[in-house]
């Protein structure tokens, strides 16, 4: 078999494999994003390490050590404090609030804002914070939204076993997300690159 014939064969096999995967992804993207049925917000609060995320404009300066700390407030809202380290090694912090998106909706469909409180009446300052995957022991959580534009994989520890991360990416694919867009987060505590 010459190299041209072999190249055509490889291309054909790749196309044969790619078409069903692409079709499955497009079909999944036609379905609404599913959230987990329920969450115990008191168990959910605390500190989470960012394991991976879709690149986004508001975290462009973050080079690693991304943490999210959630505190349940008396009014039912959640205080959100996100921190990360920038290229100069400085820790940056953003504080916000999260709340149920709809009063009678599931407690796994939240919305979050980092704009000042006096702007909270404006709908566009709130963004989806949907819990779309959650370990039974609350060791990891995956956050997305209705439009699949944003995605975060969080864990209680600075790293996740490869098998756990692989399972998460498979479920994300079934939800119409593109796991290949995920960028792994450097966590100094885990010794990740």
Ordered per-residue pLDDT tens for the chain, 193 residues: 555 454 454 444 444 544 454 444 455 667 999 999 999 999 999 999 999 999 999 999 999 999 999 999 999 999 999 999 999 999 999 999 999 999 899 999 999 988 667 666 666 568 999 999 999 999 999 999 999 999 999 999 999 999 999 999 999 999 999 999 999 999 998 765 5
- Give a three-class secondary structure readout of 126-183: CEEEEEEEECCCCCEEEEECCCCCCCEEEECCCCCCHHHHHHHHHHHHHCCCCHHHCE
Would you say residue 47 lies in a domain?
A: yes
The CA dihedral of 114, 80, 47, 50, to the nearest 10 degrees, is -20
Domain count, the chain: 1
pTM as predicted: 0.82
pLDDT of residue 114: 81
Residue pair 131/145 in contact by the 8 Å Cβ criterion: no
* Residues sharing a CB contact under 8 Å with residue 117, sequence separation 6 or more, in sequence order: 97
Would you say residue 93 lies in a domain?
A: yes
Q: Is 79 helix (H, G, I), strand (E, B) or coil?
A: strand
pLDDT of residue 26: 52
Q: Which domain holds residue 173?
A: 41-190
CATH number at residue 48: 2.40.128.20
pLDDT of residue 96: 95
Would you say residue 18 lies in a domain?
A: no
pLDDT of residue 189: 84
pLDDT of residue 9: 42
Would you say residue 105 lies in a domain?
A: yes
Would you say residue 145 lies in a domain?
A: yes
Record the tokens describing residue 124, joined without a space: 């566009």
Would you say residue 149 lies in a domain?
A: yes
CA nearest neighbour of 129 among 117, 103, 147:
147
């Amino acid at each position: 078999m010459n190299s041209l014939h072999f190249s055509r064969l490889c291309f054909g096999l790749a196309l044969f494999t790619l078409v069903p995967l692409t079709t499955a992804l497009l079909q999944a993207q036609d379905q609404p994003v599913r959230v987990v049925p329920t969450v115990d917000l008191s168990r959910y609060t605390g500190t989470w390490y960012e394991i991976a995320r879709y690149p986004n404009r508001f975290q462009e300066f973050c080079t690693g050590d991304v943490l999210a700390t959630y505190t349940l407030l008396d009014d039912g809202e959640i205080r959100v404090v996100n921190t990360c380290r920038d290229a100069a090694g400085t820790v940056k912090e953003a504080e916000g609030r999260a709340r149920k998106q709809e009063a009678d909706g599931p407690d796994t469909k939240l919305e979050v804002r980092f704009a000042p409180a006096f702007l909270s009446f404006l709908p566009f300052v709130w963004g989806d914070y949907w819990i779309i995957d959650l370990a039974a022991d609350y060791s990891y959580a995956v956050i997305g939204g209705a439009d699949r534009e944003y995605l975060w994989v969080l864990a209680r520890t600075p790293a996740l076993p490869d098998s756990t991360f692989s399972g998460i990416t498979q479920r994300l694919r079934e939800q119409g997300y593109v796991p290949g867009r995920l960028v792994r987060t450097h966590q100094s505590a885990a010794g990740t690159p």
